[in-house]
A = this chain, B = another copy of it.
Amino acid sequence: MVSVLSAQTKQTQRHREPCGACADCEVRKMAICAALQDDALDALESIMTSRKLETGEMLVEEGAPKLKVFSLTAGLLRLFTLLPDGRRQISGFLYPGDYLGLADDGTYSQTAEAVVPSTLCSFAVSEMDDLMDAHPALKDRLYVMTREALRQSRDNQLVLGRLAPVEKLASFLLVLSAQAERIGQPANPVHLAMNRTDIADYLGLTIETVSRCFTKMRTQGLIQLPDANTVSILSHRSLAAVAGAEFKS
C-alpha cells in the first residue's frame, strides 16, 4: 500500500515527458485510452508506469493476486493455462493496444508471458479502480473491451471444438493478417512472431500437425513460406474457404 502511494506521487510529478508519453503513443487510438477525454487521459497517464519484458519473461502468473493491470504498447504476449501434467492451452495472444486483466477479479486467472520483447503501461489496480470511479468513460471503455474479449473467446471455442486442423490454421492466419492490419502493419506477408509450439497450444494441436498443415497449404498453393516465420497469403479468398467459411471478413 505504501509503495503504491509513493509510486503514484512519483508519477504524478512527471508531467508530459517528451518521449513515450501518451501523446505520441502508437496505440493511443486503440488501447484503453481510446475514446477518453483529455482530462481522463491525463489522469490515466499520471498513474502509469512503463515496463519492458524480455522474450519468455513472465508478467503475471495464474492464481497470483491481481495487483496490477497492463496495457500492451509493443510486442506480443501469450495468455495460457497449464494442466498439472504439463499440457498447455493458450487462450489468446495480446497485441499492442490489448489490455491484460479484463477477465480477472482478485487473482489472475491465467499466466501471461512475453512472446517477443514487449513494452507495457502498468497500473496499480487500486489506483485504476479509483480512476474508474472518477472517470466513468474509463470503466465503459474497459467494459467494451471485455465484451470484445468474450466474443473472441467464444469464437475460439468454435475453432477448437469444430474445426479440422487445416481449417484451424487457415482461420488463425486470417486472424493474424487482420490483426496486423489493425495495428498498421502490412496484412499480407504475415509475420509469425510465435513459434510452432505456441500455435499448436493455441489451436489444440501438436507441433507436427501444425507443420504438416503448413506444408499442405503450401502444396495446395494457398500460401508461400519464404521462411518458417513468414507466411505469404496467395489467395485470401481460398484461404477463407478452407477456414470453414467461418471467417467473417
Residues of A near any B CB (own CB < 8 A): 79, 81, 83-85, 87-89, 91-92, 102-105, 109-110, 136, 139, 142-144, 146-151, 153-158, 160-162, 201-204, 244-246
Contact = CB atoms under 8 A, between A and B. Distances in A.
Given A83-B246, A87-B162, A246-B83, A104 B147 contact: yes
Contacts of A109: 151, 154
7 contacts: A91-B154, A92-B154, A109-B154, A136-B136, A150-B153, A157-B157, A162-B204
A127 to B, nearest CB: 18
A32 to B, nearest CB: 14
Contact of A143 (B89, B146, B160, B246): B146
Given A104-B147, A147-B146, A246-B83, A154 B153 contact: yes
Contact of A203 (B139, B161, B203): B161
Given A89-B161, A160-B204, A162-B83, A150 B143 contact: no
Nearest to A244: B83
Contacts of A154: 79, 81, 91-92, 103, 109-110, 153
A238 to B, nearest CB: 16
B160 A161 contact: yes
A85 B244 contact: yes
A246 B88 CA distance: 11
Contacts of A203: 161
A116 to B, nearest CB: 22
Contact of A245 (B84, B162, B202, B244): B84
Contacts of A83: 158, 162, 244-246
Given A105-B148, A160-B160, A161-B204, 13 more contacts: A83-B245, A84-B244, A84-B245, A87-B162, A88-B162, A89-B158, A92-B154, A103-B147, A104-B151, A110-B154, A146-B146, A157-B160, A162-B201
A158 B105 contact: no
B160 A103 contact: no
Contacts of A160: 157, 160-161, 204
Given A146-B146, A150-B102, A157 B91 contact: yes
